[in-house]
Structure 1
């Protein structure tokens, strides 16, 4: 590709009211999970291999692809197409540990190396390209250096912004400065669903709406995207337009948000580091959350007992959760402590510091702070980090609430009361779900369990008759006048009663002349025309003054 003069990194060049993202170089090792697994197991590179999770292919080698193996394929299908396929299990720790020497090799030539994920590193271009005489010279030198010293075949791409640079690396391209949007436009919309991005549902929806390329999606206005797809859609839209993965005005993290921990005895085992990582990650995440922040670039700095300094920066597309922070600490320790001779630290780690290299505000948290909140408890009490599906449901509900108002989305709370209707209290989404009444109070006249599964919002009139066709009534002493034989609902035909129970009298609002007065409930089991059965909860409400006959209504229906 013919290259034009580059725009200096970090300069605020206005393009459609936005600035050009920092120019990034991305080094990508294709099929890294398979490569790492094969290296760890000593499997030769010429054998077909694949990594499986949940019995499906998540990564496969080029030799396996030549035999017809593809991502997402079931294990049985993959092995039927390639009987000699070498099978590996998914192991994120192994992938990170095996990739550490590659990242260290890149760091020998450039500064500011960030591990996006195992198999992919990114580095700002400006300084290194100036030092080595240009971007082409930097790419050639880096490819040779990694091939010789790390023994890995890799691909390099350069473009404005991390997203475009990753796709350029997949194609071994150097995209001209300022032309990222033009480069991205003809690419398929599925490119948005990069590993770790969690955009599969959004991409599927865009495809069903007819948006098959990044250019078609970028052609929509940001307001329309925000209205239809919310925050996740706006972020993806920025990427499709060739902008940075997050808005440019990011907050500089206060220095007191860094977390430092000293160890005595020192950390020299992976299991001890993994145990410590969980506690340290919780402290780090809690400190950020108290300031309404979340970390998107995590700096892990370690000092060994002999004064050696170990540093690595992890970049993430989404705000890190405590589990994500702990995983990256563990992966990094595996890479450090299991490195080869000469690269491994000579002593255990005596001090560890976590530093937020980059943060985003609370609006970008995507409900990662649900744990213990009213929103989390509204969907079963699971924290956002523990239930991704719960997070997606919460985002959808808040989006609807923004369109319809606070009262437009409500959830049910089981409260105290006598009848099924008054026991269920509807509260707006996000409000306090505390129980107002005492569920365990005696509640005289309360309906015995089980409660009906369906409670009708509008009363349905019923006519209850005995075997002679006389309407059944309730006496002043709360006795039923005859055995229910048939029940007619509304204007429908009468259905035979197979069984019944009750009545359960309730003195409701006896002090109010306009109240309901005495009530009585009866459960009936009706026989349907197709020989099936339906159970109903009937309520006797006295006499209908307009017709001088017993007034029965259907209050609920049992499953």
Structure 2
């Protein structure tokens, strides 16, 4: 769909979008034909797939096995941002050679000013056709969207539309509100939660959300909702306070010896990223548009601008530098000489209040130092010596944590999104007792408390014994039965099959130390054990 343009001289934005780019890049690396269905996985779930795979029922969010069940011929590839950026660089170079001033939002999506392109080619429609042809010359399918604002242009690109001047809000109004969260480069991670909330409130269309006043949105929702509301009203994503940065914020690194390999370039880029963010932090600023510049020994000059929805962190800057250098050094028309100079220049900055600073003034510095220390521990003691927790599926608090080695893919042992009937209600214990010490739960008359077949206490709990200590109960909740492995037969006199009945309960102790005042108990084989402590 292309709407006729009435634009003449307006500051318009042109977005070029390559559909399903992660799947396209994975197929290109694997040398697959265009008829082969492809899906890209992250954490064992589909995050992108080709049009042919979608025709067979594959969708984002499906598990690996579900996707394979719907499409047995499906080719599966793991997510690789480096691969996506490396293969997207020839497309960016082709578009930049046709119309200068390209800015990359992410691999598969770029933007540029539409005014110059429309003047050069005669109209926005002709400019869109020429840029589609430029992308096609690199073997890539692309769609163009043009609008007054960046977010509107990106949404329009997904429909191949040119939105007339001043018609952005009217163009967006009938669309589902979920469109505000479709593009990750323009939305914060919590945008999905906002969209779900708006949907439950009955605001199903972008126009419904746009009809709210800015004061109503700011007072009822978070900061990201204010940005989403500006997008819904087809207003600039950021207020006009975004300004040109001071010249002294530019950082550069003379490469001695000159850089020819991607790993050496990435190391220099990470060092420059840390230096740039130290300068920005001292100036109380954060970068939203970054220019990456490289000069070779033969005098060649390479530059590219990356635009981000949120202020860049040191890791985000280092990633974009690595992606860009990887694209330059591995493309077919790579530089003829090694790189002798790298320079990072913030093109647009915002106040540092838009970026959460660390306790010691940096962004992400503590996490990076901690990660380096943990990696060193791994080097000394082995990869399994340092493990991190991943939220998993399960009924008990121990089952809901999957420990994976630092650096491995954080894949849970079970899907946490499943219903898991009998799961312990929130909140979870603050401390888990892996040894599960045995305790005794008694009624007022001294009879031991058991859980009946109807999942009830045999009597009201009154006292708890833990070793030589005993406390009176001031409150309790439960029991919550967990009837797992129901297909295993109950034990009889002629079989040694174990009991599978499990239940949990919470008890509050009178006079106990603060750290053991509220306990999580687990009941199994007619024995009570302490499983966790609450704050």
Q: Normalised by the size of structure 2, how large is the TM-score?
A: 0.70
1:179 maps to 167
1:255 maps to 247
Counterparts in 2 of 1:172 and 1:498: CA distance versus 1, 3 Å: closer
Alpha-carbon distance between aligned partners in 2 of 1:330 and 1:48, rounded to the nearest angstrom: 29
Give runs of aligned pairs for residues 307-386 of structure 1, distance below 5 A. Answer: 307-340=299-332, 343-365=333-355, 367=356, 369-372=357-360
Matched, 1:204 2:215: no
1:280 maps to 272
- Cα deviation for residue 284 of structure 1 reads 0.7
Pairing partner for 2:72 from 74, 80, 83 = 83
Pairing partner for 2:180 from 185, 188, 192 = 192
Q: 8 Å contact 2:244–2:349 — kept in the other structure?
A: yes
Matched, 1:246 2:192: no
Alpha-carbon distance between aligned partners in 1 of 2:23 and 2:367, rounded to the nearest angstrom: 34
- Kindly name which structure, 1 or 2, has the bigger radius of gyration based on alpha carbons: 1
Alpha-carbon distance between aligned partners in 2 of 1:298 and 1:92, rounded to the nearest angstrom: 18
Matched, 1:218 2:206: no
Counterparts in 2 of 1:250 and 1:384: CA distance versus 1, 3 Å: farther
2:472 maps to 526
Alpha-carbon distance between aligned partners in 2 of 1:303 and 1:86, rounded to the nearest angstrom: 39
Alpha-carbon distance between aligned partners in 2 of 1:385 and 1:498, rounded to the nearest angstrom: 41
Task: Write out the 4+ residue segments of structure 1 that deviate beyond 2 Å after TM superposition.
Answer: 1-5, 370-377, 381-386, 493-501, 523-539, 554-559
Q: 8 Å contact 2:262–2:329 — kept in the other structure?
A: yes
Q: 8 Å contact 1:371–1:383 — kept in the other structure?
A: no
Q: 8 Å contact 1:158–1:169 — kept in the other structure?
A: yes
Matched, 1:106 2:95: yes
1:557 maps to 517
- Cα deviation for residue 289 of structure 1 reads 1.6
Q: 8 Å contact 1:304–1:348 — kept in the other structure?
A: yes
- Cα deviation for residue 220 of structure 1 reads 0.6
State the SS of the aligned residue for 1:44.
coil
Unaligned runs of 5+ in 1: 10-21, 387-451, 454-466, 468-492, 502-522, 540-553
Alpha-carbon distance between aligned partners in 2 of 1:291 and 1:303, rounded to the nearest angstrom: 27
State the SS of the aligned residue for 1:108.
helix
- Cα deviation for residue 495 of structure 1 reads 5.2
Map Cα deviations across residues 219-253 of structure 1 (whole Å, 9 max, x no partner): 11101111111321111110000011111232220
Matched, 1:159 2:131: no
Q: 8 Å contact 1:498–1:526 — kept in the other structure?
A: no
Counterparts in 2 of 1:498 and 1:297: CA distance versus 1, 3 Å: closer
Unaligned runs of 5+ in 2: 372-429, 432-444, 446-459, 480-504, 520-535
Alpha-carbon distance between aligned partners in 1 of 2:298 and 2:178, rounded to the nearest angstrom: 48
Give the superposed CA RMSD: 3.1
Alpha-carbon distance between aligned partners in 1 of 2:57 and 2:242, rounded to the nearest angstrom: 45
Pairing partner for 2:28 from 35, 39, 45 = 39
- Cα deviation for residue 373 of structure 1 reads 6.3
- Cα deviation for residue 146 of structure 1 reads 2.2
Counterparts in 2 of 1:363 and 1:497: CA distance versus 1, 3 Å: closer
1:27 maps to 16
Q: 8 Å contact 1:524–1:537 — kept in the other structure?
A: no
- Cα deviation for residue 145 of structure 1 reads 2.5
- Cα deviation for residue 500 of structure 1 reads 9.3
Map Cα deviations across residues 510-529 of structure 1 (whole Å, 9 max, x no partner): xxxxxxxxxxxxx7423799
Bigger Cα displacement from structure 2, 194-203 vs 47-56:
194-203
Counterparts in 2 of 1:158 and 1:497: CA distance versus 1, 3 Å: closer
Map Cα deviations across residues 442-491 of structure 1 (whole Å, 9 max, x no partner): xxxxxxxxxx99xxxxxxxxxxxxx9xxxxxxxxxxxxxxxxxxxxxxxx
Alpha-carbon distance between aligned partners in 1 of 2:370 and 2:161, rounded to the nearest angstrom: 37
Matched, 1:134 2:123: yes
Counterparts in 2 of 1:141 and 1:76: CA distance versus 1, 3 Å: same
Alpha-carbon distance between aligned partners in 2 of 1:240 and 1:384, rounded to the nearest angstrom: 40
Alpha-carbon distance between aligned partners in 1 of 2:257 and 2:23, rounded to the nearest angstrom: 36
